[in-house]
A and B are shown apart, each in its own frame.
Chain A
Amino acid sequence: MASLRDIKTRINSTKKTSQITKAMQMVSASKMNRAEANAKAFVPYMEKIQEVVASIASGSNNASHPMLVSRPVKKTGYLVITSDRGLAGAYNSSVLRHVYKTIQERHTSSNEYVIIAIGRMGRDFFVNRGINVELEVTGVPDQPSFADINSLTKSTVNLYLNELCDELYMYYNHYVSPIQQDVTEKKVLPLSDINSSGGKLTSYEFEPDEEAILKVLLPQYAESLIYGALLDGKASEHSARMTAMKNATDNAKELISALDLQYNRARQAAITQEITEIVGGAAALE
C-alpha cells in the first residue's frame, strides 16, 4: 500500500491539474459563445450571396464561368480545417482520419491531389506522412475576421482557376451543438450544385452584363464558403475543447475522491497500528 505521503502528493497534483482543466474549460466556453455569435453574424451575408448566385446561375444558362463548369478531374484539392493546438478531444483526429481514408480510397498516386491546410495540426499530420501541402495557414485567431484568411481563400480559388486542381473539397467539423460536432465533407468547386432553394427568384438587370458579374461574384462566393466553414470549424473547436476539458475535470474529481478514500484508510490504518503498538508495549510492561 502506498504511503500516506505518496497519496497526499498525488491528491495535490491531481487537484492542480483539475484546476487547470477547469480554467481551460471556462475559457473555451466563453470562446465558444463568441465563435457561435461570429458564425451567426456571417449567416445573413452567406444567405444573400447564395440567393444572388442561385438566381443568376439558374436564371440564364447562357452565362458561363469556369467555376460553374465541371471539367475532367486530373487533380483534386482537399482543404482541411483543423486547430492549431490539441487538447480538443477527437476534434482534429476525426477530421484527419476521415480525410486520410478518403484520399487513400480515391487516389493511387500523390500527383492526383493537393492539400490545403488550415491549422497546425492538419499541416503537421500531412507533412509527417510525406504528403505535399500546397497552401497552409497556421495561427488563425480564435475569432477570425475575413481579412485573416483572405489571402488563403484567394489563392485557393486561384488554384482552381489556374487549373492546378480541378475540383475542391472541404473537410471540417460542423458545429451541431456544444456536445456534438460532425465531420463534414463539402464540395466547393466547381459550383455545380447551386440550387435555387425555395423562395421566389428575382429576374435582374445586369450592369454591365452577366459575365462581368459572375467574374466578381463567384470567387467571392467560393471564398465565403471557405470562410463560413472556418467559422463553423472554430465554433466546433472551442466546443470540442470545452467538452474535453469538462471530461478531464470530471475524471480528476473522480480520481481525487478515490484517492481521498485511500488516504483516509491509510491514515486510519496508521492510527490503528500506532494504538496496537502502544497497547502491546503497555501489556509487555505489566
Chain B
Amino acid sequence: MKTIKVSVVTPDGPVYDAEVEMVSTKAKSGELGVMAGHVPMVAPLDIAAVRLKKENGTEYVAVNGGFLEVRPDVVTILAQSAERAETIDVARAQAAKARAEKRLADNQGAIDVERAELALKRAINRIQISEMK
C-alpha cells in the first residue's frame, strides 16, 4: 500500500517521523483522515489523539492542539506539545488532571476557567492515549 511521510514537530524538537499508510485525527471541524495523494490542506487540530496506521499496527501520538498541514509528499503536524503514547508520563497526567479538576471544582470566579478546562482536556487526552498503546 502507498505510504506517506508524517512528521510531528514541536518547539522542543521533532516527536515523530515515519512513513505511514493513513493519518487520522480530530480537527476542529471534525474527524479527518489523510492518506497518500491527499490534496494539499491545512486544518487546525483539536486536543486529541493522532492515529498513525502502519502495516503492522497503529501508533498513537497525543497532540495539544496545533494544526495539520498536508502536502503532496508529506504530512506535517505542528503542535505546541506532543507526546507519543509510549512516552507519556501517566502519573504526571493524572496529577495534572486532579489539579485541573480541583481548580474547576472550587471555582471562586477568580481563576481562568478556560485555561483550567483546557488543562483538564489535555490531561484526559494523555491518559486515554497512554492506555491505547
List the interface of chain A (C-beta within 8 A of B): 38, 41-42, 44-45, 48-49, 52, 56, 145-147, 150, 202-208, 212-213, 215-217, 220, 223-224, 227-228
Q: Establish whether residues A48 and B69, one from each chain, have CB atoms under 8 Å apart when the complex forms.
A: yes
With A48-B69, A52-B78, A227-B11 as known contacts, state yes or no: A212 contacts B44, CB within 8 Å.
yes
- State A208–B70 Cα separation when bound (angstroms): 14
**Chain B residues positioned under 8 Å from A206 (CB to CB):** 41-43
Q: Say whether chain B's binding surface is mostly helix, strand, loop, or mixed.
A: strand
**Chain A residues positioned under 8 Å from B16 (CB to CB):** none
- Interchain Cβ contacts under 8 Å between A and B, 9 examples: A44-B7, A45-B9, A52-B78, A145-B12, A202-B71, A206-B43, A207-B42, A216-B28, A217-B67
Q: Say whether chain A's binding surface is mostly helix, strand, loop, or mixed.
A: helix
Q: Establish whether residues A49 and B40, one from each chain, have CB atoms under 8 Å apart when the complex forms.
A: no
**Chain B residues positioned under 8 Å from A207 (CB to CB):** 27, 29, 32, 41-43
**Chain A residues positioned under 8 Å from B44 (CB to CB):** 212-213, 215-217
- State A44–B74 Cα separation when bound (angstroms): 14
**In angstroms, how far is the closest chain B Cβ from the Cβ of A199?**
12
Question: Which chain B residues (35-89) contact chain A, with CB distance < 8 Å?
Answer: 39-44, 65-67, 69-72, 76, 78, 80-81
**Chain A residues positioned under 8 Å from B11 (CB to CB):** 42, 45, 146, 224, 227-228
- Tell yes or no: B33 within 8 A of A by CB: no
- Tell yes or no: B94 within 8 A of A by CB: no
Q: Establish whether residues B9 and A44, one from each chain, have CB atoms under 8 Å apart when the complex forms.
A: yes
Nearest residue (CB) in A for B65 is: A216
Q: Establish whether residues A48 and B42, one from each chain, have CB atoms under 8 Å apart when the complex forms.
A: no
**Chain B residues positioned under 8 Å from A45 (CB to CB):** 9-11, 13, 78
**With A203-B40, A205-B39, A213-B44 already in contact, 15 other A-B pairs whose C-beta atoms are closer than 8 Å:** A42-B11, A42-B12, A52-B42, A52-B67, A147-B81, A204-B41, A204-B69, A204-B70, A206-B41, A207-B29, A207-B42, A208-B43, A213-B43, A216-B28, A217-B42
Question: Which chain B residues (13-40) contact chain A, with CB distance < 8 Å?
Answer: 13-14, 27-29, 32, 39-40
Q: Establish whether residues B12 and A204, one from each chain, have CB atoms under 8 Å apart when the complex forms.
A: no
